[in-house]
A and B are shown apart, each in its own frame.
Chain A
Amino acid sequence: QSALTQPRSVSGSPGQSVTISCTGTSSDVGDDNNHVSWYQQHPGKVPKVLIYDVIKRPSGVPDRFSGFKYDNTASLTISGLQAEDEADYYCCSYAGSFTWVFGGGTKLTVL
């Protein structure tokens, strides 16, 4: 149950796009079940799901947020960056037998 690997920080200017990577193993991210999800957490707030099953967005999440996966690496792309996107982002993968593993988190700074 090792944590997934994310960059500690990324940054971008308003209107730009940023991509956050999330690397795991063939037992979690790379598994064919494709149960990778992404969460946004503002300081002092509760995490909010942005993406599930690699590419699906819950109702209410803007289409500026998109997900992708190739092999053992998943990614979250945020297009048209806005000031309110500044937050911590976490990837998470189902790891089988009803267990999950999170990434270490990435701090997004909007310049």
Chain B
Amino acid sequence: EVQLMESGGGLEQPGGSLRLSCVASGFTFSEDPMNWVRQAPGKGLEWISNIRSGGDSKYYADSVKGRFTISRDNAKNSLYLQMDSLRAEDTAIYYCVRDVHFAFDLWGQGTMVTVSS
């Protein structure tokens, strides 16, 4: 079955760090660019980061640039998001998402991140 499964979410204090993981199965992970998209409670979707298939090129939304780092391990079919200097406004469900034809065709179930003291 083609799927993505995130983990690593939880409660963290402002200024803290969290590392999210996403494991892919059912497709050739190493061939596809991957993204993180988040959704704050009751709010809309926000694209936050993209990594190309080889892992050499990475791109970020202004809202997370300099604080978040995307990475991947193609040997482990895994995508990661290192989140540093967390803020209350980073509270959201974080989705691991594959993009094909510049559209987001496969989504994980999401992992909830709450930033609060």
Contacts and interface: CB of A to CB of B under 8 A. Distances in A.
B104 A37 contact: yes
Given A1-B62, A98-B50, A98-B52, A103 B104 contact: no
Interface residues of B, number: 24
A92 B97 CA distance: 14
A99 B103 contact: no
A39 interface: yes
Contact of A105 (B44, B52, B108): B44
Interface residues of A, number: 27
A53 B101 contact: yes
Interface of B: 33, 35, 37, 44-47, 50, 52, 57, 59, 61-63, 95, 101-105, 107-110
B107 A102 contact: no
B44 A99 contact: no
B50 A46 contact: no
A52 interface: yes
B107 A46 contact: yes
Listed residue (B35, B101, B102) with the most chain A CB atoms within 10 angstroms of its CB = B102
Contact of B95 (A3, A46, A49, A105): A46
Given A39-B45, A46-B110, A105-B44, A99 B104 contact: no
B106 to A, nearest CB: 9
Contacts of A37: 102-104
Contact of A47 (B45, B59, B61, B101): B45
